[in-house]
Structure formats: C-alpha cells, structure tokens
Amino acid sequence: RCLLDLEDFSPAFRSFEKSNAAYREAHPKWLGLKTLFQQDIWAQRTYVDALSKRSRKAGETETPLFAKPQAFVAGFPRSGTTLLRTILASHPDLAVVQESPAFGDACVFMPGGLATPATPEHILHNARTQYYAAVKALIPNLPYRVLVDIYPFNTRLVAWMKELFPQAKLILMARHPCDVCLSAYMQTFEINTLTAGMLTLEDTVQTYIELMSLWNDAVKALSLDVLTVRYEDIVSDFQP
C-alpha cells in the first residue's frame, strides 16, 4: 500500500500477487470453498426460476412479527456498503445491521428442494422468527422505524429476500466493476465461500460476474423494485 501511495503501481501489484499467493498457500481449503460458492450460485438460480413461476395470493404478506419496514442492502464487497452504512446509521429512524450472518443463518430453515411448488408458511414463519431473534440481539432496545440489513454476502440470497420479506425494500450499492474487482483483490478478507474466489485477479472478476449476474437475473425474473445507489455519486456529490 505504501507503493500505491507513491504511485509505483507495477511493484505494488506484484506485492499483492505475492501476498495472495501466500494466502492461498496458507489456506489450502480455498479451492473447495470456491467450488461451494459456484454450487450455491447454481442452487440460487434454480430457486429464482422456481419462485418466478409462483404467484402470491392477493393480499398475502409476511407475518408482521415486528410490524416494521425492512430493507436489505446488497452489493459486491468493496462496492461502498460500509460507506453507505455510516451514512444510514446517522439517521435516527434507522437501525442498521452490517455484515451479520443473521439472514443467511435463518435461511437454513428454507427447504433443500429449491424447486418445490411452494414453501409451507410454517417454514417461512420459523425462518423469520430466527432472523428477528438474531437481529434483536444485535440492536437491543434500539428505537427505530426501519431495519436496514447490509451484508454483501447476502447478495446471492435475493430470492429468499423476496420470499421471506416480499414487502422489503432492496438497495443495490454499485461501483465500477474495475474498481470493485481490483479493490477486492487487494483486500485481505476472512476466507469464506465468497472471498475464496478473490485470491487471484481472474477469479475475482469471475466471482463478480457470477454474483452480480445472479442478482440482475433475479431482479428481472422476479420483477423486483431495486434502488441502485452508485458509489461514485456519493463520493463526488454527497448531499445529506
């Protein structure tokens, strides 16, 4: 990073290559985790297809356990979700949960057979209950009007956002793909199924394509109403 600050870019990039090579060697499970991510993307695409063929009954909605509006913020790592969290957290009516596995953990209640005709309501209810219990532990006694869940890893779960919380608002934090991919490649993440695909520049680009293609295809197939916030707009012309 010192080389970057000195604008000595070629040696800086070689340093990042060596660092990521050492990280791969220190985490031999990274290839297996990357494969699990690709399998997860395929499974979520199957679920998007199944959900797009269903139709909710007129007036049907999720059980209002908290009876408060919900919003999810998605995006690729390094797209500016942390910046957006800082901005949103300053609003007194918002409770912001960042990088919590609560939603993904709740989704384990969802059926393994992703192409089932419909998910039973009791399973949906159990998943929502699990999610809200985890969230409540993160923001105990915090007064708010809208709950905002920000976690790039949840981007792949867009279909479950739709099924569990059909009234939730969806926000996509977007940044130029070149900036996102290079920044993600240069970052040292805790390794998981998503970040295992960011240990070479080629893999980082492919991971970006797979994740954001899933999101875009789901938005189209499920007719989702998404607010896109561009990182470049925030940093160039931020207006509170």
DSSP 99-159: S-THHHHHGGGS-S-TT-S---HHHHHHHHHHHHHHHHHHSTT---SEEEEE-GGGGGGHH
Q: Which residues contact 11 (CB under 8 A, 6 or more apart)?
A: 3
Average pLDDT of the chain?
Answer: 86
Which range is least confidently modeled, 4-13, 114-123, 170-179, 224-233? Answer: 4-13
Local confidence band at 154 (pLDDT 50, 70, 90 cut-offs): very high
**Residue 56, both tokens:** 């909710």
pLDDT in the model for residue 118: 73
Strand, helix or coil at 216? helix
**Residue 138, both tokens:** 């993160």
Instruction: Report the pLDDT averaged over residues 142-165.
Output: 90
pTM of the model: 0.88
What length does the chain have? 240
Q: Smallest Cα–Cα separation from 142: which of 94, 87, 102, 83?
A: 94
At 117-153, the pLDDT tens digits run 677 888 888 888 899 889 988 887 778 889 999 999 9
Residue 2 has pLDDT above 80, yes or no: no
Q: Which residues pair with 150 in a beta bridge?
A: 73, 98
pLDDT in the model for residue 122: 84
Kindly give the interhelix angle for 9-26 and 177-186, rounded to the nearest 10 degrees: 60
At 27-64, the pLDDT tens digits run 999 999 999 999 999 989 988 988 888 755 444 555 55
Is-contact 124 160, C-beta < 8 A? no
Instruction: Report the pLDDT averaged over residues 191-197.
Output: 92
Percent of the chain at pLDDT > 70 equals: 87
Is-contact 74 154, C-beta < 8 A? yes
Strand, helix or coil at 228? strand
Q: Which residues contact 56 (CB under 8 A, 6 or more apart)?
A: 166
Q: Which residues contact 208 (CB under 8 A, 6 or more apart)?
A: 76, 177, 180, 181, 184
Strand, helix or coil at 70? strand
pLDDT in the model for residue 119: 78
At 77-103, the pLDDT tens digits run 999 999 999 999 999 899 999 889 999
Residue 74 has pLDDT above 90, yes or no: yes
Place of tokens 């090579």: 21
pLDDT in the model for residue 101: 92
Which range is least confidently modeled, 41-45, 114-118, 167-171, 183-187? Answer: 114-118
Percent of the chain at pLDDT > 90 equals: 54
pLDDT in the model for residue 139: 85
Measure the CA–CA gap between 131 and 147, rounded to whole angstroms.
12
Residue 160 has pLDDT above 50, yes or no: yes
